[in-house]
Amino acid sequence: MKFLVLKKHTLKIALGVLCLCAILALPFGENSAASVFFGDNLRKVPIYSVETGEKKVAITFDAAWGADKTDGIIEILKEHHANATFFLVGFWVEDYPEEAKKIAENGFEIGTHSNTHPDMTKLSQEQKKLELSSSIETIQKTTSVTPTLFRAPFGSYNNDLINVAEELNLISIQWDVDSLDWKGLSANEIHSRVMSKVKNGSIILCHNNSKNILSALPLLLSSLQMKGYTVCSVGELIYHNSFVIDRAGVQKKI
């Protein structure tokens, strides 16, 4: 009898492992997050980084408050022949429409960072949808760009939020390298922090109006390019079909 019980228990474990492997092996479409097991829960995960043999990294700028450094960021990126993704909050676009237009006119990618920058995990489903749809509409009207990428304010997400984003054809994006520029770090500190963590396929988080971004960015871009990295947008880095995302948020080609 003990032998039979043991066999049943072993069989349950084996079936569980097989189910998990099957889920992790599923390909995900261009706007789907991976669903992976965390204990007994099935949780969706956005893209934190990309597994690639190419020396490519994406640099991103979240824009929510202030815009006086945006023109400088654009010029520095152009001087270094680097691309980037700007995640714009709806009210920022309304407050600084000319800067938003310049980002688009200079060929940089635009994603949404919500409409009012709340912790969206605390909102109802309808409020989540309104935050995203309103921000998309504002960005479209101002820049003629339709965002396909979404970064959650504060990096706070859950299954419901990712599901709403997917319904609106948005790919949820996080980051694996945080510059911490918003803390007022010096240019050298930002540079050292990023360069110590960056790797192939990294997504770097910066902010458009952080205190020392204009002095840190040239150092950062020069060092990345000296190490052979191509600095691109998120859309140029990620896979848009036939991929999986592991539990750490690493997107992998299949």
What are the tens digits of pLDDT across the range 50-89? Answer: 999 999 999 999 999 999 999 999 999 999 999 999 999 9
Neighbours of 38 (CB within 10 A): 9
Confidence band of 43 (pLDDT split at 50, 70, 90): confident
Provide mean pLDDT across the span 105-123.
Answer: 98
Would you say 148 and 31 are in contact if contact means Cβ atoms under 8 Å apart?
yes
What is the value of pTM for the model shown?
0.86
Which is the CATH superfamily of the domain at 45-253? Glycoside hydrolase/deacetylase (3.20.20.370)
pLDDT at residue 11 in the model = 46
pLDDT value for 224: 98
What's the rounded mean pLDDT across residues 141-145? 98
Please answer whether residues 30 and 243 qualify as being in contact, where contact means their C-beta atoms are separated by less than 8 angstroms: no
Q: What is the mean pLDDT of the chain?
A: 89
pLDDT at 79: 98
β-strand partners of 60: 85, 205
pLDDT reading at 8 higher than 70: no
> Are the beta carbons of 152 and 128 closer than 8 angstroms?
no
**The total number of residues written for the chain in this structure:** 254
